[in-house]
Amino acid sequence: MPSGPGSIPTTVPVQMPKPSRVQQALAGMTSVLMSAIGLPVCLSRAPQPASPPASCLASKSHSSVKRLRKMSMKGGTPKPEPEQVIRKYTEELKTAPDEDCIICMEKLSVASGYSDVTNSMTIGPGAVGRLTKCSHAFHLLCLLAMYCNGNKDGSLQCPSCKTIYGEKTGTQPRGKMEVFSYPVSLPGHEDCGTILIVYNIPPGVQGPEHPNPGKPFTARGFPRQCYLPDNAQGRKVLELLKVAWKRRLIFTVGTSSTTGETDTVVWNEIHHKTEMDRNVTGHGYPDPNYLQNVLAELAAQGVTEDCLGQQ
């Protein structure tokens, strides 16, 4: 774009041939960026709104946009047998401690409360074990029942202290994560630019890991746009969000807390900022505690800086 005096046109046409849903949702940021430097903007094609107008979005083709990465869901790997997972992360005790199992609420010195509904060829009803890192003790059969009632992804989470053993994965449907950067600041982070994350998940059919396998699920409000400051801590959060995306932890299929709709794609306990230039709903900036809070939420899902060295 010319920078000399007198070379600025009265309007800047933005061509959007055959826009995709993401291009439609992103087109608004072009006008924001140009308006920020005093340029009026004329759109040659009116985009169909795919998200609330409060979000400040951009066209992928704009020269100020640098696409950092595009990530799609990858196929899964074979899952270990449930008994193997329990044995891997526990040490069986010869003598049961004089305390309750917080899973079945029975004394550890008596049989597991799940012995009548959980069958195992290798774990007896009275077997007691201690988790190797946090040292909390449970009936092994209770741990097996808890594991089999979850995602069965090869990881185990202590029901007492929430310590995660192994690599926790979620039930996020297939989709796409894209990342962009802009030379526009967020409120409260005026010393740096902005990272834009675009998540796109299409509607589909629920798999065996979802609440109602074989039933269709909806995906409302996609593409969804989220914002981070483009500074050292914001970039660290971005890298951890990429790990969480790969592990299928950012979204899940469930019931919407806002509409009550069932069998739909919903956020999964990792909060995102979906407003760029205001904080009317609490999902925007300024928020001086957000980056620390989201790091804690990621850690609760087993996504920490230690994961970055494993990528």
pLDDT value for 124: 94
Q: What 3-state class would DSSP assign to 110? A: coil
Question: Which strands, in side-by-side order, build the sheet including 224-229?
Answer: 66-72, 176-182, 194-200, 224-229
In this prediction, residue 151 carries a pLDDT of 83
What pTM was computed for the model?
A: 0.70
**Cis omega (within 30 of 0) for bond into 52:** no
Residue 63, pLDDT score: 31
DSSP H or E segment with residue 69 = strand 66-72
Do you know the residue count of the chain? 311
For each of the domains in the chain, give its residue range(s) and CATH number, in order of start: 82-165 (3.30.40.10), 176-307 (3.30.390.130)
Calculate the CA dihedral of residues 75, 78, 84, 90 and round it to 10 degrees: -20
pLDDT tens per residue, range 92-137: 999 999 999 999 999 999 999 999 888 898 999 999 999 999 999 9
Which of 8, 68, 70 is CA-nearest to residue 35? 8
> Which stretches of the chain score pLDDT less than 50?
1-76
Please tell me the predicted confidence (pLDDT) of residue 108.
97
Radius of gyration of the chain (CA): 24
What is the model's pLDDT at position 311?
56
Q: What is the pLDDT of residue 71?
A: 46
- pLDDT at site 310: 67
